[in-house]
């Protein structure tokens, strides 16, 4: 009788462990680099899944320190560990994940244009691959209109971004069309990496009346270096997102990266728990944009923000 009871207890424990295992999920998060926007997106993603799953989800969050090769190493580690889903925060992380696996569901965030990032022609918003996610693309036409609202008398706009980030070039190309239609002359000023940010920024200041910085991860991690150039040059910067604007800009039409990451977490729940097919999930966009200004930089440069702009806190 005792042997039967012991066997029954062991069987129950095994069944309980199996049930628990079936209801738990491991998620690997690869973030390209540490800066305010990407940090907020990762936090929003974790918060959304934790609110829905509690202790049933665990995260392995790793930062590549701006190195795309490190992204590949991190992703390969996730694959070896058998994670249930990969969240890739920024374009190089997404590209590394796609190159490494066609089986594990991948959700990106802080990616401007998935067609550009994945080198596909379909711009319908559905990749047809084991990939979907959220885009941080703010309305570029409205950003051009913001620049025109604040600097109607400017003639030359310098577009400052990292040449190694294809989505930055995409934004620069698109907004150039809008700015040209508004009468501006646009010139690209590109840096290869953080080492030449300051020198390229100085060239941009020398040849421009106002600068535009798109949502660019290298620029976002180098805002202090950029500010050290643009402030003494009295050069205003319109930024593609709040973090860059807070560091060196005067104004931005920005999204909430926390909300973007949170939306990605909601998509992850649909994939993990409800069995949604990631290959048919449309890429989502931020629901709201906000006109914001950097009060300190505006005061230093003598820029008057309109009444409908909100100060960055």
Query: 143 is written with which tokens?
Result: 């950003």
Tens of pLDDT along the chain (313 residues)?
A: 444 444 444 444 343 333 334 579 999 999 999 988 899 999 999 999 999 999 999 999 999 999 999 999 999 999 999 999 999 999 999 999 999 999 999 999 999 889 999 998 877 789 999 999 999 988 899 999 999 999 999 999 999 999 999 889 999 999 999 999 999 999 999 999 899 999 999 999 999 999 999 999 999 999 999 999 999 999 999 999 999 999 999 999 988 899 999 999 999 999 999 999 999 999 999 878 899 999 999 999 999 999 999 999 8
Same fold yes or no, 23-135+257-282 and 140-254+290-311: yes
**Which residue, chain included where needed, has tokens 């400017």?**
154
For the domain 140-254+290-311, what is the CATH code? 3.40.50.2300
Beta bridge partner(s), residue 131: 106
Strands 290-293 and 284-285: unpaired
Beta bridge partner(s), residue 63: 31
The rounded distance, in Å, linking the Cα atoms of 95 and 114 is 10
The rounded distance, in Å, linking the Cα atoms of 59 and 27 is 5
Give the start-to-end residue ranges of the domains of the chain. 23-135+257-282, 140-254+290-311
The rounded distance, in Å, linking the Cα atoms of 198 and 178 is 27
Beta bridge partner(s), residue 217: none
Query: E-assigned strands of 98-250?
Result: 106-111, 131-135, 156-162, 185-191, 210-213, 237-239
216: Cβ contacts below 8 Å, ≥ 6 apart: 161, 162, 165, 168, 240, 244
Closest to 62 measured CA to CA, from 102, 107, 31: 31
Residue 12: strand, helix, or coil: helix
Query: 166 is written with which tokens?
Result: 């294809």
What pLDDT score does 17 carry?
A: 37
Q: Listing from the earlier edge strand, what are the strands of the sheet with 131-135? A: 57-63, 25-31, 85-89, 106-111, 131-135, 284-285
Q: Does the domain formed by 23-135+257-282 have CATH 3.40.50.2300?
A: yes
The rounded distance, in Å, linking the Cα atoms of 33 and 222 is 11
Q: Phi and psi dihedrals of 8, rounded to 5?
A: -65, -40
What pLDDT score does 22 carry?
A: 53
What pLDDT score does 288 carry?
A: 82
Q: What angle do CA 191, 109, 236 make, to 5 degrees?
A: 40
């Amino acid at each position: 009788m005792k042997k039967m009871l012991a066997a029954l207890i062991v069987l129950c424990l095994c069944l309980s462990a199996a049930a628990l295992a079936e209801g738990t999920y491991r998620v690997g998060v690869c973030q390209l680099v540490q800066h305010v926007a990407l940090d907020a997106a990762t936090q929003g993603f974790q918060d959304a899944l934790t609110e829905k799953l509690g202790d049933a989800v665990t995260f392995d969050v790793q930062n590549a320190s701006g190195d795309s090769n490190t992204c590949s190493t991190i992703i390969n580690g996730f694959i070896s560990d058998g994670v249930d889903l990969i969240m890739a925060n920024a374009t190089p992380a997404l590209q590394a994940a796609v190159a490494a696996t066609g089986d594990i569901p991948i959700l990106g965030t802080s990616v401007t244009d998935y067609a550009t990032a994945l080198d596909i022609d379909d711009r319908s918003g559905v990749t047809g691959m084991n990939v979907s996610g959220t885009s941080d693309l703010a309305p570029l036409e409205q950003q051009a209109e913001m620049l025109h609202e604040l600097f109607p008398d400017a003639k030359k706009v310098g577009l400052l971004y990292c040449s190694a980030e294809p989505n930055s070039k995409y934004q620069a190309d698109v907004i150039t069309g809008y700015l040209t239609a508004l009468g501006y002359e646009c010139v690209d000023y590109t840096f290869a990496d953080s080492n030449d940010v300051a020198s390229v920024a100085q060239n941009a200041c020398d040849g421009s009346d106002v600068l535009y910085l798109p949502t660019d991860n290298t620029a976002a991690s180098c805002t202090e270096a950029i500010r050290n150039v643009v402030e003494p040059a009295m050069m205003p910067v319109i930024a593609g997102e709040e973090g860059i604007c807070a560091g060196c800009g005067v104004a931005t039409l920005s999204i909430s990266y926390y909300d973007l990451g949170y939306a990605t977490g909601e998509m992850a729940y649909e994939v993990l728990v409800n069995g949604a097919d990631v290959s048919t999930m449309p890429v989502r966009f931020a629901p709201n944009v906000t006109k914001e200004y950097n009060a300190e930089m505006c005061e230093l440069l003598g820029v008057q923000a309109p009444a409908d702009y909100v100060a960055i806190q």
